[in-house]
Amino acid sequence: MAYENILVERDPAISTITVNRPKALNALNSHTLRELTQAVRECADSRVIILTGAGERAFVAGADIAEMVPMGPWQAREFSELGHVLTALIEDIPSATIAAVNGYALGGGLELAVACDMIFASENARLGLPEVTLGVTPGFGGTQRLVRLVGKLRAKEMIFTGDWVDARRAYEIGLVNAVVPREKLLEHCRSIGQKIALKGPLAVARAKRLVERGYDMTLRAANRQEAESFALLFDTQDRREGMSAFVEKRPAKFTGR
Ligand code: CAA
């Protein structure tokens, strides 16, 4: 499918989706949110999806402020829902998702990143939720997902002040997995993606679901789900292949069955 504001490189192992509005620092308008949702759906049979931003300066500098200026409450609600649909989809698909944060990840941009399974940042990255500066709250899940990553105290400081953090500080507070030189960022994300793509597909997809769903459950209920998943995987070819390969001292060849 042809897109206007995003670039999509689809591949069974690692797909890459790039937000491509560099003149607006890749800000997310409704059209881009719909395109991203469509593209993520299309790539959901890839083992890994990397999300990044075009140009030298930004991953995504937020929801599109120009589009929001004339909105009333009803349109704002619909706009917020577009962001929630996209971020929930990113969490629900079996693919592992990696945000390659190559510059500003502000507002909706950080909210997009924190919906991903991993975040790698370039040294020039700046991450924050500056929405209160505009008189609004975060609208694509930032008040919930940021808290879960960095804890209440740090999340509230970032949300109430609107201050952003640089890549080093983001690493210190557990907001990114690692900080990488800018020119190496995509290569680094792809090498992490390659590692994931070589592992058992059913196992990785199950593990993602267990982590995501378990978060909202009691520890006991979540552990019960883990035990069930563990047992179910014993009936798969991948499990037989993975364990046989170990015993035979050779790399496993998984088929996802
Ligand atoms: N929406 C629309 N356009 C944006 C944008 C955004 N979020 N961020 C940047 N742009 C545009 C600018 O308007 C500018 O366009 P023009 O050249 O046509 O004027 C272009 O991108 C370059 O930006 P600047 O000239 O501002 O670049 P800078 O280097 O001076 O500053 C910046 C960079 C600090 C990131 C600054 O652009 C900025 O503060 N952007 C807004 C960040 C923000 O507030 N994000 C949160 C949005 S609200 C939100 O996301 C709500 C939600 O949760 C759903």
For residue 141, give Cα distances in angstroms to 81, 146, 177, 252.
Answer: 10, 8, 20, 38
Whether residue 99 contacts residue 51, with contact meaning beta carbons closer than 8 Å, is answered with yes
Site to substitute for ligand 1 among 23, 25, 159, most atoms within 8 A of C-beta: 25
Cα 128 to middle of ligand 1, angstroms:
13
Separation of alpha carbons 49 and 41, rounded Å: 11
Cα 249 to middle of ligand 1, angstroms:
53
Residues at CB less than 6 angstroms from ligand 1: 24-25, 27, 61-66, 83, 104, 106-108, 111, 130-131, 134, 138-140, 142
Give, using CA atoms, the residue closest to atom 14 of ligand 1: 24
**Complete edge-to-edge strand list for the sheet that includes strand 58-60:** 58-60, 104-106, 126-128, 164-166
Q: Do domains 6-197 and 201-247 have the same CATH topology?
A: no
Atom of ligand 1 nearest to the CA of 109: 50
Both structure tokens of 52: 């990044």
**pTM of model > 0.85:** yes
Give the CATH superfamily of 6-197. 2-enoyl-CoA Hydratase; Chain A, domain 1 (3.90.226.10)
pLDDT of 1 reads 77
Whether residue 65 contacts residue 134, with contact meaning beta carbons closer than 8 Å, is answered with yes
Cα 130 to middle of ligand 1, angstroms:
11
Give, using CA atoms, the residue closest to atom 36 of ligand 1: 61
Separation of alpha carbons 226 and 149, rounded Å: 21
- The full set of domain ranges for the chain reads 6-197, 201-247
**Fold adopted by 201-247:** Lyase 2-enoyl-coa Hydratase; Chain  A, domain 2 (1.10.12)
Q: Catalytic positions, please?
A: 111, 131
- The segments of the chain whose pLDDT lies below 70 read none
Radius of gyration of the CA atoms of the chain, in A:
19
Angle between helices 237-247 and 201-214 (to 10 degrees): 110
Cα 109 to middle of ligand 1, angstroms:
11
Q: 177 — alpha (psi -120 to 50), left (phi > 0) or beta? A: alpha
